[in-house]
């Protein structure tokens, strides 16, 4: 609901001028809109909507993927809320979202600001910083992460300098989640590139004018860069939060689909996967999925609502 | 600031030079941390297969080539090249699909005022929220009934139908950031939406489009679940599936060739990134447009 | 109540459109994508397995032999590793499109039988397309569920103790047939004292080992439909296990995780590990030491509780070519040449034709053969434990919850309670 309100409203004056031509124009606009949208509409109807509605229905059934689903009402939800492993997965996910998302975005923005300056070898730097994200969730990442965060490996040795010896993060239920967080932060390339693209759009004259007015780099960043890239910042905050809620790949890489030890990396989607695919409880998994949808939708709605306060769109500026 | 005296210029130059030095030192330090794991993987690919797992050394004591030379023989009777060409085909088709369909859709959301736009936009965002695992089996059944199992169709169909809301949304955000005067001017000149889309909005959205293309390429290249489920014939397997064939839970896994292949698999992705990133740098001459 | 439920379901399905409606069909129609009959009467069947490169190469050779003998049948191979195999199989099977013939394991038999995926091969045997004779040591029973033959064994394996031969020698301890658990742990203690390494990598999280222990005591892990032990039994087992982790007799579980996917034994973190005998080849490939198979410790000085398990071939109940599928399975388990090609990769060859044809030459195969021979001669082999539907889920839960105990995160009593709770849900699923 909030989302609908947020989309820019049509200016009133356009509507009042020349009612006849307006109506014809509107019809033409509608037609054009739907023509441009047609691939998405086809995709939505055929690929997304059906499976989505099916999964919503499954959420209220007991469904083992083979025999027809059996309606059980809210059973899946009540079982779920009482399930200690589900509670654990919520806890792990929230911890992950809250720690990983801001750190990743800060690093991405920092490096993007660094790379946005015109320097020698810029392209090379950019590719180098993007390298970790190119590797994706490959098996070799699993190997290297084990190697980095094991006992006596580089992270552990560094940690020992500061007097903390935990015997490595991997395999340690109290620390392994942070190796996952580290993996997510390490692959900061996607938001970085998006920040860079956003920074490219900031008109240089604004900086020149600000410099004329004697604004230091910090004020220039606060008064010009930040508002100008706010649509992109908004996009990154929104998408990285959604992705963090749905994280699966990095958990899979660090601890395969067991997401352990002791459920220490049991992120929400990993538990959903175990329930749906390892244990064939698709009804339960669907209930989990829709609970996640509602939770993330709330977060999304809050973000969309908040953008009025801090996101600066070109078209809304007038 | 106002009086451009000689000493001021000199100190400005000096400041710029030390600033540049500081920039490079800072960037390189950060890079060293960020690239350490990459160097580990590179080093590991020259370690004997036995020594790779749980090895805490960054570099091999005695580098061996066996992991790479072993790739030439292929795996289980399938040449490594076949995995690569399959992946390239998948990633290439995916990029074309995403760029076309997402930009069209995004243009409609950002630049056309049509009835129901807000509702559709909400729905589009909504599709971002559902974990894809629950969609997997219904979609599998759909493609099976259409007879497309063991082809690339199930993998790329969604890309041509703009189902990747991430990219649509990314482009919408960019297009909404474009100066409104531009398309209003185009409208006054009598341009229809197709012309405005093609000759004004599309070129100006290049950073977003290149970004989407790069992400799509990487995602398709690294996609594991899709190919695993839809491709049956091993000769049609992609690199991500081929990698798993070096793994053997009941016998001897060849981690050496696995890691070597995962490195070779990086080459096309890096090449794609390098080829297109300069368009990111060039971006667009925003200042010119504004003036 | 009943009607309104149905109406609701119908309207929702309708609303979901074609995509969702097809779901109902999925379970009933079994048309494989391209496993059809071509115009010249050639039949194509899809055959899927998991395994490494050596197995795949041997399989391809065996398939070529079959196609030569049956020119009208074409085999389309599909292969990947174990984890990927079951991820893929689950989706394909629930989408009504599993392979016509596939490798299967005891743990999954009842699960997929309950879901109607597996064909009863007895009818094909009766029709003369598949010979059920000449199976050794009664392994054919491993593929039987409720009087149906839903799997045909391709090998026989048994649980074993793999030991680091050098470590045992250096510590001056020896593994003997009929040794007791006390003797086993005493040996580990000597190893720990003398060599400063742990004795075992974590025996108490392995469901199949606990099963042997229970069998030694007149119980078993599973009955036909339930768990065959009590919460107190398991609490005791895990309490002992945790005690041994704390004393260092069993490797710190963190270390085991850190070296995975290598095994703790081949990483030199312990001197012994329990696993299936035909997997023992991996230790030579991964580790620096020499490894050998040793007897399972006993409770009464004789009975190890062992039985022969099996990998098998199963067929899809909805296959369009049941006859050809049966002929193929028959060839794969009886043909002497296939036996020579496959060797003991999936366990000791199941039929006398194949067993007699293959004479192992490499030390690993010889070791496995000698081990199973020894076990058979000792007369300790019993009937296989039943594996109710849900056994695969419980095996994973046993490993996970046992791991929590090992980490000191869950008290053994609470852990046992949790396992019983999850088992209940798994049996119902």
CA distance A144 to A136: 13
Q: Is the pLDDT of residue C278 over 60?
A: yes
Buried b (16+ CB within 10 A) or exposed e, A295-309: bbbeebbebbeebee
Question: Is C24 domain-assigned?
Answer: no
- Residue-level pLDDT at A120: 86
pLDDT tens across C170-186, in order?
999 999 999 999 999 99
Percentage of chain A lying above the pLDDT 90 cut: 53
Q: Is the pLDDT of residue C200 over 60?
A: yes
Q: Is the pLDDT of residue C31 over 50?
A: no
Query: Closest approach of chain B CAs to the CA of A164, in angstroms?
Result: 19
Nearest CA in chain B to A145: B37
Q: Is the pLDDT of residue A171 over 50?
A: yes
Number of domain units in chain C? 1
- Residue-level pLDDT at C17: 40
Question: Is C170 domain-assigned?
Answer: no
Query: Exposed, middle or buried by CB within 10 Å (0-12, 13-18, 19+), for C232?
Result: exposed
Q: Is the pLDDT of residue A1 over 50?
A: no
List Cα–Cα distances, A318 to A310, B84, C372, in angstroms. 16, 50, 84
List Cα–Cα distances, A14 to A22, A304, C11, in angstroms. 8, 26, 43
C226 in reach of chain B (CB within 8 A): no
Residues in CB range of A99: below 8 A, 6 or more apart: A178, A181
Residues 135-174 of A with CB under 8 A from C: 146, 150-151, 167-168, 170-173
- Residue-level pLDDT at B12: 65
ipTM attached to this prediction: 0.86
- A3–B122 C-beta distance less than 8 A: yes
Mean of pLDDT values over C121-142: 95
Domain covering B73-290 in this structure, CATH number? 1.10.3720.10
Contact status, residue A43 vs residue B158, Cβ threshold 8 Å: yes
- How close are the terminal C-alpha atoms of chain C, in Å? 24
CATH topology of domain A78-310: MetI-like fold (1.10.3720)
CB-nearest to A54 from C8, C19, C115 is: C19
Closest by CA to C81, choosing from C340, C229, C261, is C261
Question: Is C341 domain-assigned?
Answer: yes
Assign residue C196 a region: left if phi > 0, alpha if psi is -120 to 50, beta otherwise?
Answer: left
Residues 69-98 of B with CB under 8 A from A: none
Question: Is C112 domain-assigned?
Answer: yes
CA distance B257 to B78: 14
* pLDDT band with cut points at 50, 70 and 90 for residue A19: low
Mean of pLDDT values over B80-101: 97
Mean of pLDDT values over C88-112: 94
Nearest CA in chain B to C61: B77
- C404–A71 C-beta distance less than 8 A: no
pLDDT tens across B60-84, in order?
988 999 999 989 999 999 999 999 9
Q: Where are the alpha helices (DSSP H) in B178-254?
A: 180-188, 193-195, 202-204, 206-222, 225-230, 239-244
CA distance B166 to A243: 10
List Cα–Cα distances, C325 to B101, C42, C90, C143, C350, in angstroms. 44, 13, 21, 16, 19
Residues 30-49 of B with CB under 8 A from A: 30-31, 34-38, 40-41, 44
CA distance A202 to B13: 25
Written as six digits, the tokens of B283 are 């971006």
- A34–B114 C-beta distance less than 8 A: yes
Phi, psi torsion values for C314, nearest 5 degrees: -120, 160
Nearest CA in chain B to C83: B249
Query: Closest approach of chain A CAs to the CA of C400, in angstroms?
Result: 7
Query: Closest approach of chain B CAs to the CA of A289, in angstroms?
Result: 6
Query: Sign of torsion, CA C47 C51 C53 C59?
Result: negative
Query: Closest approach of chain B CAs to the CA of C122, in angstroms?
Result: 28
C291 three-class SS: strand
- C256–A171 C-beta distance less than 8 A: yes
Q: Give the mutation candidate from B129, B219, B221 for the A interface (greatest A CB count, under 10 A).
A: B129
Question: Is C276 domain-assigned?
Answer: no
- Residue-level pLDDT at A16: 42
B133 in reach of chain C (CB within 8 A): no
- C254–A167 C-beta distance less than 8 A: yes
Nearest CA in chain B to A14: B113
pLDDT tens across C137-157, in order?
899 999 999 999 999 999 999
Between A and B, how many residue pairs show a Cβ–Cβ distance under 8 A? 308
Phi, psi torsion values for C156, nearest 5 degrees: -130, 130
**How is chain A split into domains, by residue range?**
2-58, 78-310
Neighbours of chain A (3+ CB pairs under 8 A): B, C
> Any idea of the CA torsion for C54, C60, C64, C69, to the nearest 10 degrees?
90
Average pLDDT of the residues of chain B = 87
C40 three-class SS: coil
A64 in reach of chain C (CB within 8 A): yes
- B138–C23 C-beta distance less than 8 A: yes
- Residue-level pLDDT at B181: 83
pTM comes to 0.89
Q: Is the pLDDT of residue C41 over 70?
A: yes
Q: Is the pLDDT of residue B291 over 60?
A: no
Question: Is C39 domain-assigned?
Answer: yes
- B137–A128 C-beta distance less than 8 A: no
Query: Sign of torsion, CA C307 C313 C317 C322?
Result: negative
Closest by CA to B175, choosing from A225, A314, C31, A11, is A314
Q: Is the pLDDT of residue B102 over 50?
A: yes
Percentage of chain C lying above the pLDDT 90 cut: 81
Percentage of chain C lying above the pLDDT 70 cut: 92
Contact status, residue C174 vs residue C246, Cβ threshold 8 Å: no
Written as six digits, the tokens of C12 are 């929702």
Residue-wise DSSP of C310-356: -EEEEEBTT-S-HHHHHHHHHHHHH-HHHHHHHTTBTBB-SBHHHHH
Residue-wise DSSP of A22-36: HHHHHHHHHHHHHHH
Nearest CA in chain C to B49: C286
Question: Is C172 domain-assigned?
Answer: no
Residue C31: other Cβ atoms inside 10 A: 15
Assign residue A133 a region: left if phi > 0, alpha if psi is -120 to 50, beta otherwise?
Answer: alpha
Written as six digits, the tokens of C111 are 């699960």
**What CATH number is given to the structural domain containing C339?**
3.40.190.10
Nearest CA in chain A to B207: A197
Query: Closest approach of chain A CAs to the CA of C396, in angstroms?
Result: 8
CA distance C109 to B154: 30
Contact status, residue B273 vs residue B214, Cβ threshold 8 Å: yes
Written as six digits, the tokens of C267 are 């990483």
Contact status, residue C310 vs residue C139, Cβ threshold 8 Å: yes
Mean of pLDDT values over C264-276: 95
CA distance C85 to C92: 10
Contact status, residue C221 vs residue C233, Cβ threshold 8 Å: no
Query: Exposed, middle or buried by CB within 10 Å (0-12, 13-18, 19+), for B5?
Result: exposed
Angle at A270 between CA A269 and CA A273, to 5 degrees: 85
Question: Is C327 domain-assigned?
Answer: yes
CA distance A219 to A232: 20
Mean of pLDDT values over C378-396: 92
CA distance A228 to C394: 55
C97 in reach of chain B (CB within 8 A): yes
- B30–A144 C-beta distance less than 8 A: no
Q: Is the pLDDT of residue C257 over 70?
A: yes
Phi, psi torsion values for C179, nearest 5 degrees: -70, 155
- Residue-level pLDDT at C33: 43
Q: Is the pLDDT of residue B247 over 70?
A: yes
Residue A94: other Cβ atoms inside 10 A: 14
**How is chain B split into domains, by residue range?**
6-69, 73-290
CA distance A54 to A71: 13
* pLDDT band with cut points at 50, 70 and 90 for residue B89: very high
DSSP β-bridge partners for residue B232? none
* pLDDT band with cut points at 50, 70 and 90 for residue A12: very low
Residues of chain B in contact with residue C269, where contact means CB-CB under 8 angstroms, are none
């Amino acid at each position: 609901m909030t989302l609908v309100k947020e989309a820019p409203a049509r200016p009133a004056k356009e509507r009042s001028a020349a009612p006849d031509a307006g109506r014809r124009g509107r019809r033409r606009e509608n037609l054009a809109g739907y023509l441009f949208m047609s691939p998405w509409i086809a995709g939505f109807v055929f690929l997304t909507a059906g499976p989505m509605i099916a999964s919503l229905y499954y959420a209220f059934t007991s469904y083992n993927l083979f025999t027809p689903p059996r309606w059980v009402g809210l059973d899946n939800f009540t079982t779920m809320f009482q399930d200690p492993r589900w509670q654990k997965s919520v806890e792990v996910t929230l911890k992950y979202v809250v720690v990983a998302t801001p750190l990743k975005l800060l690093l991405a923005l920092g490096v993007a600001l660094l790379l946005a300056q015109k320097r020698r070898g810029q392209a090379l730097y950019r590719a180098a910083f993007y390298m970790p994200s190119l590797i994706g969730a490959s098996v070799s990442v699993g190997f290297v992460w084990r190697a980095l965060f094991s006992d006596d490996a580089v992270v552990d040795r560094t940690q020992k300098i500061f007097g903390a010896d935990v015997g490595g993060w991997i395999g340690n239920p109290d620390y392994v989640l942070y190796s996952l967080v580290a993996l997510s932060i390490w692959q900061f390339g996607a938001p970085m590139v998006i920040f860079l693209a956003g920074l490219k759009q900031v008109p240089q004259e604004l900086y020149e004018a600000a410099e004329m007015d004697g604004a230091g780099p910090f004020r220039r960043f606060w008064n010009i860069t930040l508002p100008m890239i706010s649509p992109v910042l908004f996009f990154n905050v929104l998408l990285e939060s959604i992705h963090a809620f749905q994280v699966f790949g990095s958990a899979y890489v660090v601890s395969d689909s067991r997401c352990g030890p002791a459920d220490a990396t049991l992120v929400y989607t990993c538990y959903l996967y175990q329930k749906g695919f390892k244990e064939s409880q698709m009804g339960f998994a669907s209930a989990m999925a829709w609970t996640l949808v509602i939770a993330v939708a709330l977060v999304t709605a809050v973000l969309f609502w908040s953008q009025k306060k801090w996101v600066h769109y070109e078209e809304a500026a007038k | 600031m106002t009086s451009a005296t000689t000493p001021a210029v000199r100190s400005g130059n000096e400041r710029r030079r030390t600033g540049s030095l500081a920039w490079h030192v800072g960037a390189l330090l950060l890079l060293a941390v960020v690239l350490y794991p990459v160097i580990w993987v590179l080093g590991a690919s020259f370690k004997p297969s036995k020594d790779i797992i749980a090895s805490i050394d960054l570099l091999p004591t005695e580098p061996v080539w066996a992991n790479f030379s072993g790739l030439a023989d292929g795996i289980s009777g399938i040449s490594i090249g076949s995995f690569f060409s399959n992946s390239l085909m998948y990633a290439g088709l995916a990029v074309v699909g995403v760029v076309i369909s997402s930009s069209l859709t995004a243009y409609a959301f950002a630049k056309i005022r049509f009835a129901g736009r807000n509702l559709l936009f909400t729905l589009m965002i909504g599709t971002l929220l559902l974990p894809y695992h629950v969609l997997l089996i219904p979609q599998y059944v759909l493609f099976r009934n259409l007879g497309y199992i063991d082809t690339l169709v199930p993998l790329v169909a969604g890309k041509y139908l703009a189902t990747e809301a991430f990219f649509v949304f990314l482009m919408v955000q960019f297009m909404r950031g474009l100066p409104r005067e531009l398309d209003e001017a185009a409208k006054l000149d009598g341009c229809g939406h197709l012309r405005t889309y093609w000759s004004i909005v599309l070129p100006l959205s290049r950073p977003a489009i290149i970004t989407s293309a790069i992400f799509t390429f990487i995602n398709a290249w690294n996609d594991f679940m899709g190919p695993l489920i839809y491709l049956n014939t091993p000769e049609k397997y992609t690199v991500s599936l081929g990698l798993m064939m070096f793994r053997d839970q009941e016998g001897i896994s060849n981690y050496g060739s696995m890691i070597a292949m995962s490195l070779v698999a990086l080459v096309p992705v890096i090449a794609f990134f390098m080829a297109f990133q300069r368009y990111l740098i060039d971006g667009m001459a925003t200042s010119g447009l504004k003036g | 109540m009943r009607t309104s439920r149905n109406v609701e379901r119908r309207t929702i399905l309708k609303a979901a459109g074609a995509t969702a409606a097809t779901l109902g069909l999925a379970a009933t129609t079994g048309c494989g994508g391209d496993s059809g009959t071509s115009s010249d009467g050639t039949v194509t069947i899809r055959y899927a397995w998991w395994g490494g490169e050596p197995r795949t190469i041997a399989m391809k050779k065996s398939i070529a032999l079959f196609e030569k003998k049956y020119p009208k049948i074409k085999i389309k191979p599909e292969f990947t590793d174990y984890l990927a195999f079951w991820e893929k199989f689950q989706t394909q099977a629930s989408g009504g499109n599993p392979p016509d013939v596939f490798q299967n394991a005891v743990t999954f038999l009842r699960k997929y039988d309950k879901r109607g995926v597996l064909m009863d091969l007895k009818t094909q045997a009766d029709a003369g397309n598949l010979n059920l004779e000449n199976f050794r040591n009664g392994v054919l029973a491993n593929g039987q569920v409720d009087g149906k033959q839903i799997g045909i064994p391709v090998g026989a394996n048994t649980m074993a103790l793999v030991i680091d031969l050098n470590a045992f020698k250096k510590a001056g301890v020896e593994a003997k047939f009929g040794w007791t658990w006390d003797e086993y742990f005493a040996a580990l203690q000597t190893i720990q004292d003398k060599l400063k390494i742990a004795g075992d990598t974590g025996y108490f999280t392995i469901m199949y080992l606990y099963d042997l222990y229970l069998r030694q005591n007149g119980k078993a892990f599973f009955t036909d439909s339930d768990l065959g032990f009590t919460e107190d039994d398991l609490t005791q087992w895990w309490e002992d296990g945790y005690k041994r982790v704390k004393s260092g007799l069993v490797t710190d579980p963190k270390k085991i995780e850190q070296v995975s996917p290598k095994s703790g034994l081949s990483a030199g973190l312990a001197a012994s590990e329990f696993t299936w005998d035909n997997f023992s080849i991996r230790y030579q490939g991964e580790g620096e030491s020499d490894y050998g198979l040793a007897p399972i410790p006993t409770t009464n000085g004789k009975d190890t509780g062992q039985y022969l398990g099996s990998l098998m071939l199963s067929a899809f109940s909805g296959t369009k070519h049941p006859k050809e599928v049966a002929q193929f399975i028959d060839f794969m388990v009886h043909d002497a040449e296939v036996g020579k090609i496959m060797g003991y990769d999936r366990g000791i060859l199941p039929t006398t034709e194949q067993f007699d044809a293959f004479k192992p030459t490499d030390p690993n195969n010889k070791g496995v053969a000698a081990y199973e021979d020894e076990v058979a001669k000792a007369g300790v082999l019993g009937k296989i434990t039943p594996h109710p539907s849900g056994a695969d889920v419980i095996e994973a839960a046993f490993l996970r919850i046992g791991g929590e105990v090992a980490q000191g995160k869950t008290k053994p009593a609470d852990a046992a309670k949790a396992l019983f709770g999850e088992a209940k849900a798994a049996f119902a699923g």
